[in-house]
Structure 1
C-alpha cells in the first residue's frame, strides 16, 4: 500500500469539490478523489444550458461548466485522482483509497466531504408492477444518452416528478428522439419554478398531472404502460409508454460520513454541520449537496468556496467554540441546513439558510423560536414550494442566544 500526505483531501470532484480545490490549491497541497473516470459531477452529462450563473457569471451547458471547473482546479495546482474510491477511514483524517494503481492511504491535515447526492431508484421508491426494462433515474438516462452507455431509449416516456430536473430529463429524452407524453407530481402544482414549467410545457408540449402517483408499471420484458392514480379521488388510468424516468427524490451519498460515525441530520440525511461547514469531527468538513440535497450546481460550487475559507482557518490554528445551538424545524418544513450555530462563528454560505418544505405556501412567514419564545418573524416575498430549496436570509437568527437552547424554525401562511 502506498501513502500520500496532502494538506487537504477532498472526496468528490463535483462542483463543490472542484471549487474548493481551486480555492485551496497553490499554496496548499490539495488532493481530490473522484470515483468516476472523469471529474465534474452531474453537470458532465447534462447537455443543456443553465449552469454557472451564480458562481461564474456565465450561462453555459453542463459539460462546458464541468470543464471550466476542472480547468480551474488544475490551473490552481490541485491533483485530481479519478477512479479512486475512498473505502473507509484509517484515522481521524486518514482515508483508505482504492485506485487503478492499487490501495492508497491518504493522511491529510483536513478532509472535505463533497460526495453529493443521488436520486433514489425504483426499488427504494417501492413502485409496484412488472420488472420491466426501460426504467431510469435522470442520471442513468443522461449517462445512457450523452455518455455512450448505449442503453436503449424508447419513443414514449412518462417522467415521474415535476421539479426542474424533470424538465432536464424531458430535454434529454427529446435529444434521444423520445417524446415525454406525461409528467406526474404528487403535489398540487408542478415543483419547478413557473418559468421552467411553463417554458417546458410550451416547448415540449408535455402535460403535467398533479396530485398523481405511479401506482404500477406494466410490461415484460420492456415497459408497455404505467397505471397512475389521482391521490384525492383514487381514480386510475393507464398511460401507454415504453420508458419511465424517475426524477428527484434525492438522498445524499453519505456512506463515508456514516462510516466515520458522524451524526446525521434526520431530515437531510447528510452530516450535521455548523455555519463554517465543520462536522463534529475536528478537521473534517462537508459541502455541497451532501448537506442539502438537491440544490443547483452553482450553489454547490459556492459551498465549495465557503468551505475553502474555513479549511484555511482550521489549518491556521483556529479552534471553534465548543458550545453550540441546534437548529430544528417543524412541519411543514422537513429540514434546515446548516444545523449548528456556535458563538463567534461566521454567517452560513451566501448568508442563507437552506430549508425544505413539504407543503406549498405562496406567502410564507418564517417564525423563529428559542425556549418557546418568538425571536424573529419574517415575511418572505417568494413562495415555499415542495421540490426546491427555500432560501431564507440568515439574519433571521440575529436575535438568538448562541449559548442558549435549541432554536426552532416554523412556517405559517402570511395574511393577505
Structure 2
C-alpha cells in the first residue's frame, strides 16, 4: 500500500517569500493570528533584493532607504517576529485538488491544505533563448538575476567588458553590479528612442557609471567560441550593423510572471500581463486564492510589491471572516499604446486597488498623457496627467478615473486621447 503524504492545514499559505509574500505574512500574522505559513524554493527568504546589493529599497513601504540584502533581512525578521512561519528550500510542485498543494522540502513530501492561498511567486527576466537572439552559445551570457546571484551570493568573477541589453531601471542595477565585480559596462542597448528608465537614472548612469546608450538598437548575434567575444548590433531605423567587443552580455528586463502554479491550477490568466486575472481585492478566478506582487504586473519595484502584500492581507482576512464577492464585475481592458492594465476586474463595493492606482504598461513614450476611459462606446472620463507614460516602467493612473463606470455596462477600455 502506498503511504499518503502527510497533511498540514494552516490558515493561510503564501507561496513565495519575496517582498510581497513576506509583507503579506507579517500583516496576516499580526492582524489575524492563526497559522500563517510562507514557503519559498530558494535557500533563503527575501526574493530578488537579497542579491541586489545596492541602495534604494524600502522607500514607499518602510519610509527609509536601505540596501537590497538589508531590506530582505528586515522583511524576514518582521514576518517571523509577527508569528509567521517561513520554510525555505520548499517547492510547491502542483495541486492535488482546488485548495491543496503538493510540496517537497527538507521534511520530505507532504501536502498543505490552507483556508486561503496567496500566490506571490514574482517574475523573472526572459533569458537570451526566450528572446531568440541567434549566434554562438559561449559562456558569459547572463540575466541580471543570474549576474547578481553570481557576484553577490557566490562572490564569483565575471568578465572585463560587458554589453547590457535593455535600458530599464534593472539595467542600471546590472551596471552597478558589473562595476562592483570589476567589469566595465561598455554599452547599454535599448530598442526605444530613449532608455526606458527614469530620466534621473539615465542621466546619473551616464555621468557616474559612464555607460553609453545605443538607442533604437537590438542585438542580432552573439559571437564567441568558449567565451563570449563580441555582439553584433543593428540600428532599427537605418539597418546599419556593427560589432562591439565584449566578454560578457547581460540581458535585462523583458519580464514574465512566474505563473506556472496559476496556469496548472486552471486559474484564468490575463493575456496582457500573463499573470492571474484579478479584481481590485486581488482575488483570482479560484475562490480563496489570491495573488500579489510582480506575478501580477511584471515588473514594479520591490516596495510596490510589498504594498501589494499589505493590501492582499487585508482582503484575505475579510475572506477568512466570511466576506465573499458580490457581483460578476466589469472587465478592464488596455487600449494601445498600453499593453496591459492591472487589476483587470472592477466589482461594486470592492476596495480600491493597492495604493488607489491602476497600473498600465506603455509601448510608447508620451510626455503629457491624457487618459481616456471608455465604456459602451462613450468616453466617461478624461484625465490629463503630469507624468509621462514610457516603455519599460509602470504607468500609474489614479483609480478615481473609474468613478463613472456602470456596473451593468460592458467592458471598460483605458487608453490615451490623442491631442
Answer whether TM exceeds 0.5 for this pair: yes
Q: Whole-Å Cα distance in 1 between the matches of residues 181 and 133 of structure 2?
A: 25
Say whether the 8 Å CA contact 1:184–1:209 is kept in structure 2.
yes
Q: CA deviation at 1:371?
A: 0.6
Rounded Cα–Cα distance in structure 2 between residues aligned with 1:319 and 1:330: 31
> Which residue does 1:73 correspond to in 2?
79
2:113 is equivalent to residue 107 of structure 1 = yes
| 1:131 CA drift (Å) | 0.6
CA distance in 2, matches of 1:349, 1:231: 38
Once residues 411 and 326 of structure 2 are traced to their aligned partners in structure 1, the CA distance between those partners, rounded to angstroms, is 16
Corresponding residue number in structure 2 for 1:317: 322
The question of 1:8 aligning with 2:5 is answered no
Shift, 1:92, TM fit = 2.0
Corresponding position: 1:404 with 2:405: no
Offset at residue 91 of structure 1 (A): 1.9
Instruction: Give 3-state SS (helix, strand or coil) of 2:56's partner.
Output: strand
Q: Which runs of 5+ in 2 are unaligned?
A: none
| 1:50 lines up with 2:69 in the alignment | no
Q: Which runs of 4+ in 1 moved over 6 A?
A: none
The equivalent of 1:60 in structure 2 is 66
Deviation at 1:411, TM superposition (A): 1.5
Contact in 2 for aligned 1:347/1:394 (Cα 8 Å) = yes
String of CA shifts for 1:135-158, please: whole Å, max 9, x gaps: 0000000000001163x4100000
- Select 1:170's aligned residue among 170, 175, 182: 175
Mapped partners of 1:237, 1:67: distance in 2: 44
Task: Give distance in 2, aligned partners of 1:386 and 1:323.
Answer: 32
Equivalents in 1 of 2:281, 2:25: separation in Å?
A: 17
Superimposed CA distance per residue, residues 312-344 of structure 1 (whole angstroms, 9 cap, x where no aligned partner): 000000011132100001111000000011111
Give the equivalent residue in structure 2 for 1:372. 377
Task: Tell me the equivalent position of 1:343.
Answer: 348
Matched, 1:35 2:35: no
Match of 1:19 among 16, 19, 23: 23
Corresponding residue number in structure 1 for 2:165? 160
Q: Which runs of 5+ in 1 are unaligned?
A: none
| Selected match of 1:225 from 230, 236, 241 | 230
2:152 corresponds, among 146, 149, 158, to 146
Please give the alpha-carbon distance, in whole angstroms, between the structure 2 residues aligned to 1:22 and 1:314. 17
The CA distance in 1 between the partners of 2:177 and 2:252, in whole Å, is: 12
**Could you tell me which residue of structure 2 aligns to residue 358 of structure 1?**
363
Asked if 2 retains the 8 angstrom alpha-carbon contact of 1:323 and 1:403, the reply is no
1:284 equivalent in structure 2 = 289
Deviations 1:350-401 (A, max 9, x none): 0000000001111111100001111101111000000000000000000001
Q: Decide whether the 8 Å contact of 1:15 with 1:297 is kept in 2.
A: yes
**CA–CA separation in structure 2 for the residues paired with 1:101 and 1:304:** 27
Report the Cα distance in structure 1 between the residues aligned to 2:155 and 2:96, rounded to whole angstroms. 35
Structure 1 CA distance for aligned equivalents of residues 73 and 228 of structure 2: 36
State how far apart, in whole Å, the 2-side matches of 1:253 and 1:323 are.
Answer: 27
Pick from 169, 187, 195 the counterpart of residue 200 of structure 2.
195
Task: Find the residue that maps to 1:174 and give its secondary structure.
Answer: helix
Matched residue, 2:130? 124
* Shift, 1:405, TM fit: 1.0
How far did residue 94 of structure 1 move?
A: 1.1
Helix, strand or coil at the partner of 1:172: helix
RMSD between aligned residues:
0.8
- Alpha-carbon distance in structure 2 between the residues aligned to 1:319 and 1:131: 52
TM-score by length of 1: 0.98
Q: Name the count of aligned residue pairs.
A: 413
Counterpart secondary structure, 1:136:
strand
After superposition, the C-alpha distances for 1:84-134 in whole angstroms (9 at most, x for unaligned) are 111111222211101122111001000000000000111000000001110
The worse-fitting range, judged by mean Cα deviation, of 335-344 and 85-94 is 85-94
Structure 2 distance, partners of 1:100, 1:29, is 20
